[in-house]
């Protein structure tokens, strides 16, 4: 979830019983974040830009705060990449994400 004030957002979630973890650097987004575990296997990553030229700042400027991405586990990442590329008719690159190797569109 892209937002402008990481600590304010973490406090809002804390008030409803969802506690954010420690601040984590997210170098590939030039951002910092705090992960909130939800349920057995889910969670919300709160993300704040560290620089006005970061992808997070760009997202906030153009779309406002909100869901910037979704993470899903795949048993075969290359097959998932092929399905995405075929179905969405665009290229998706592999990158080192917070939860391991990930697929991203770069847009």
| Average pLDDT by stretches of 10, the chain with 107 residues | 97 96 94 94 94 96 94 91 94 88 79
Q: How far apart are CA 68 and CA 84, in angstroms?
A: 17
Q: How far apart are CA 98 and CA 79, in angstroms?
A: 20
Q: Which two tokens stand for residue 31?
A: 């951002």
Report the predicted TM-score, pTM, of the whole model to 2 decimal places: 0.82
pLDDT at 70: 86
pLDDT at 100: 87
pLDDT at 107: 54
pLDDT at 106: 62
* Domain 1-69: which CATH number of 3.30.930.10, 1.10.240.10, 3.30.470.20, 3.10.180.10: 3.10.180.10
Which residue, among 89, 98, 104, 7, has the nearest Cα to 59 in the 3D structure?
A: 104
């Amino acid at each position: 979830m892209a937002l402008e004030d990481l600590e304010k957002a973490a406090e809002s979630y804390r008030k409803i019983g969802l506690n954010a973890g420690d601040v984590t650097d997210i170098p590939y987004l030039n951002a910092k974040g705090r992960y909130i575990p939800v349920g057995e296997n889910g969670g919300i990553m709160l993300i704040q830009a560290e620089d006005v030229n970061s992808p997070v700042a760009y997202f906030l400027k153009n779309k406002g705060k909100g869901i910037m991405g979704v993470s899903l586990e795949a048993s075969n990442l290359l097959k998932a990449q092929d399905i995405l590329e075929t179905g969405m008719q665009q290229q998706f690159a592999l990158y080192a994400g917070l939860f391991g190797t990930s697929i991203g569109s770069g847009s």
